[in-house]
Amino acid sequence: MPRFLFVIITALIFTGTPAFATGEETGGISEYKNVKPTDEKTVVSSKSTADHTKFKELQGPFADGPAVTKACLSCHNKAGKQFMHSLHWTWQYKHPKTGQILGKKTLVNNFCTNARGNEGMCSQCHAAYNHKGPDFDYTNPDNIDCVVCHDQTGTYYRTPATRGHKACSVMFEGQKPIQWTKVAQNVGKPKRANCGTCHFYGGGGDNVKHGDLSSALTTPDKSVDIHMAKDGLNMACQDCHVTSEHITAGSRYQMLAKDLKGVGKPGKRRQAASCESCHGLSPHDKVSGLKGIKLNGHVDKVACETCHIPEFAKGGVATKVDWDWRTAGKLKNGEGYNIKGYTQGNGEHRKTYKSIKGNFKYDENVKPVYAWFDGTMRYTTIDTKFDDSKPVYINSFSGSYNDPKSRIWPFKKMHTIQPYDKGNKTLVYMQLWGKNDAAFWGNYNFQKAIEYGMKSAGKPYSGKYDFIDTYSWWPITHMVAPAKEALACAECHKKNGRLAKLSGFYMPGRDNFWWLDLVGYLMLAGSVLLVIAHTLARIFMKPKLSDHEGDAS
């Protein structure tokens, strides 16, 4: 596992401090520390037709990352161009349906809010070297970081491209220098640890953002994820996220909410990250009988994930579900501090307050929120004006029972209270990272951080900020449970079940016509009463029968 991963995230406390008990306060603002590398056996015997250790181009010595990249591209002479078309590089996505310009380059989220202007820190997860600010040269292939994805030694790591305030600087210290030649010679297809380096730690910590992508997936057991289980299929990310010419299948901006194509032609995987692209369009065993047929009847309206991921944030790693920026900036003795108020399943303590970010709430083994989803995400961008009397949805979508493209999907719904421009009624860019006096992480001044963030991005700022409730939707696709742990029918087919809030369709077990039921039950009660009354009448009038004995035959 690349040490970068430890550098960035896993760590909860200061360098050299032992584990703290829940609720304990620590000083400073840094949340980074060096952690010992795991004993993961990272060098995998390659079935490749080439042994990279033998190539004269890779004998080194290499001064830095770009030098390694040059060597890579000298043989893989189309890889640079290919990669520069990928979202991993461009950080920009023009939505084919909505026309919105999306991507980390411009979007505002409801976690650390914006990468724009904070590239010095955030570009740790941009597969590029020297990405220090928005003026980064996206046309120079030498800046591609090949090894963050392809390293098989587990010794490669990345550090922030620029420096932050003093309190954050510990993250640069104590790192062994990268052995560029060794790294360059030991490359291969990305492993879960490679992808996880960034994708498990989105939002500034383990599982903070997605809820279904955490370090628990590095070596999960079957109940955490049936596909990636270490004692099972042990699949790599790209077994599903099929990649061709460095373009990876699967997108949260335009999802395949309902795959109608199923598996590809024999021997040819489709470049799609859908369940159906492996499991087909009628995945349940219909040969064994009615149950399989009935379950297959659900796939047109219910996404596979809805039943097969009953819970996310499994495996002992919590996800953030609530973030309150309003409390950020409290100081003790003139310094920022942290409070560790949550102990997650694997025993690690998570911070519930950080001076640099505010208050958080965590949750584990979370039941998703369900909604009809047509796959198209619409975003509240930095340019979107909104009604500030209502909560703002960072992303939203359409979908309904009657829309043949929609299915019921599971989501993580993230709630945050974050700064916005009260005058212009827009979201804001904040200057968080850096050494100037605007950077919030060190100066703790929202007004200055917003003013600088907006100005440097060329966006208008009214000068008045306030805080607003925001929500974001995170479709849940990972942490698929073993089949026997899939949702039972009655989880949804009952009153007040998981789908209680979805409307516009009749669902057996959940819905009824209350007045029909009322009339029906009254009729049944009436029938029973009639029977009882008649029986009693027969019993009590029986003695009279003897008076007329002989009448009856």
Partner 1 sequence: MSKSKKSCVTIYTRYERFWHWSQAALIFALAFSGFNIHGSFSLLDFQTAVMVHTISAILLIVLWIFTTFWNFTTGNWKQFLPFLDIRAAKGDKIDTLLIFFLRLYAVARYYAWGILKGEDHPFHKTLRRKQNALQALSYLTFMVVIGPALWASGIVYLLYDLWNTSANSGTILMLVAFVHTAAAFLMVAFVIVHVYMTTTGSTPLHYIKGMITGVEEIELTEVERAYLEQDHPERLQNDKSPSC
For binding to partner 1 (CB under 8 A), which residues are involved?
Answer: 290-291, 293-294, 296-297, 300-301, 401-402, 404, 488-490, 493-495, 504-506, 508-513, 516-517, 519-521, 523-524, 527-528, 530-531, 534-535, 537-538, 541, 544-545, 548, 551-553
How wide is the angle at C-alpha 171 spanned by C-alphas 108 and 13, nearest 5°? 90
**Which of residues 133 and 292 has its CB atom nearest to partner 1 in the complex?**
292
- Give the nearer residue to partner 1 in terms of CB position, either 75 or 260: 260
Is the C-alpha dihedral spanning 140, 146, 149, 154 positive or negative?
A: negative
Q: Which is nearer to partner 1, 41 or 548 (CB)?
A: 548
DSSP letters, 419-467, are: EEETTTTEE-----SSSSTT-HHHH--HHHHHHHHHHHTT----S-EEE
Q: How far is the CB of 402 from partner 1 (least distance, A)?
A: 6
Collapsed DSSP state (helix, strand, coil) of residue 326: helix
19 vs 524, which CB is nearer to partner 1?
Answer: 524
Question: Which CB atom, from 35 or from 507, has the smaller least distance to partner 1?
Answer: 507
Please identify, using beta-carbon distances, which residue of 23 and 297 lies nearer to partner 1.
Answer: 297
Residue nearer to partner 1 on the CB measure, 19 or 528: 528
How many CB atoms sit inside 10 A of residue 404's CB? 11
Q: CB of 272: closest distance to partner 1 in angstroms?
A: 22
Residue 372 beta carbon to partner 1: minimum distance, rounded to whole angstroms: 12
Whether the Cβ atoms of residue 145 and residue 128 lie closer than 8 Å to each other: yes
Beta carbons of 424 and 385 less than 8 angstroms apart: yes
CA distances in angstroms from 482 to 277, 290, 487, 548, listed in the order given: 19, 21, 11, 74
Residue 497 burial (10 A CB sphere; 0-12, 13-18, 19+): middle
Which residues lie below 8 Å from residue 533, measured CB to CB, with a gap of 6+?
A: none
Residue with tokens 């944030």: 313
CB neighbours of residue 192 within 10 Å: 23
CB of 541 to partner 1, least distance (A): 4
Minimal distance, residue 551 CB to partner 1, in Å: 6
In 143-188, DSSP assigns E strands to: none
Q: How far is the CB of 411 from partner 1 (least distance, A)?
A: 22
Measure Cα distances from 440 to 222, 328, 332, 361, 418 in Å: 42, 9, 16, 21, 14
Closest contact distance (angstroms) between CB of 550 and partner 1 is: 10
Least spacing, CB of residue 375 vs partner 1, in Å: 18
| Beta carbon nearer to partner 1, 172 or 521 | 521
With a CB cutoff of 8 Å and minimum separation 6, the contacts of 452 are 117, 431, 436, 438
Shortest reach from residue 497's CB to partner 1, in Å: 9
Query: Residue 387 or 551: which CB sits closer to partner 1?
Result: 551
Q: Give Cβ neighbours of residue 416 (< 8 Å, ≥ 6 apart).
A: 110, 111, 322, 323, 324, 325, 469, 470, 471, 472
Closest CB to partner 1 among 471 and 505?
A: 505
Q: How far is the CB of 483 from partner 1 (least distance, A)?
A: 14
d(CA 442, CA 168): 8
